């Protein structure tokens, strides 16, 4: 049995209202990193279009559940519902921007002219597992802004 801690989250606007209780296992982060590393080869082997389809599905989920997500953000952060709705809308927007042709072409690789007779090739390869800890004020949008392009890149 591993040691565990419980985090109690309260609504900042109503401190007597409990949002949730979350049990945190000491080894949970290490286990999550190991699982991500195990999944990395298969994910990075997918084609860019396959990865894009997964991201489009994620965007669709955020649109479909926008009000529910916004309500949770409001309860967790204390921001107004209008602000939370704006943040949720940015989740799908980031996917759309990442999957624009100009961004996709850049991730696929490009040439940089070095002189009249030479050019340099720039290409990207998946780096590996990353973790993002979101800030309290934009807990959905800012992490999403990091992991969407990373997942698309492989």
pLDDT in tens, 92-110: 999 999 999 877 777 777 8
Q: Confirm whether 78 is domain-assigned.
A: yes
Q: Confirm whether 94 is domain-assigned.
A: yes
Please give the residue range of the domain that contains residue 96: 48-153
Helix and strand numbers (H, E) in the chain are 6, 4
Q: Which CATH number belongs to the domain containing residue 141 in this structure?
A: 3.40.605.10
How many structural domains comprise the chain?
A: 1
pLDDT in tens, 25-80: 878 888 999 999 999 999 999 998 999 999 999 999 999 999 999 999 999 899 99
Of 63, 81, 62, 59, nearest to 71 by C-alpha is 81
126/104 Cα distance (integer angstroms): 14
Three-class DSSP category at 143: helix
């Amino acid at each position: 049995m591993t040691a565990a801690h419980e985090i109690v989250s309260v609504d900042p606007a109503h401190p007597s209202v409990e949002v949730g209780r979350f049990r945190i296992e000491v080894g949970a982060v290490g286990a999550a990193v190991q699982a991500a590393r195990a999944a990395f080869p298969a994910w990075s082997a997918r084609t860019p279009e396959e990865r894009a389809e997964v991201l489009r599905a994620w965007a669709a989920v955020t649109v479909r559940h926008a009000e529910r997500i916004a309500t949770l953000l409001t309860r967790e952060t204390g921001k107004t519902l209008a602000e939370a709705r704006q943040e949720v809308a940015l989740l799908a927007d980031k996917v759309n921007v990442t999957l624009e042709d100009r961004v996709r072409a850049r991730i696929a690789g490009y040439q940089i002219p070095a002189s009249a007779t030479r050019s340099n090739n720039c290409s990207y390869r998946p780096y590996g597992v990353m973790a993002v800890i979101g800030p309290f004020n934009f807990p959905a949008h800012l992490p999403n802004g990091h992991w969407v392009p990373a997942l698309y890149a492989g």
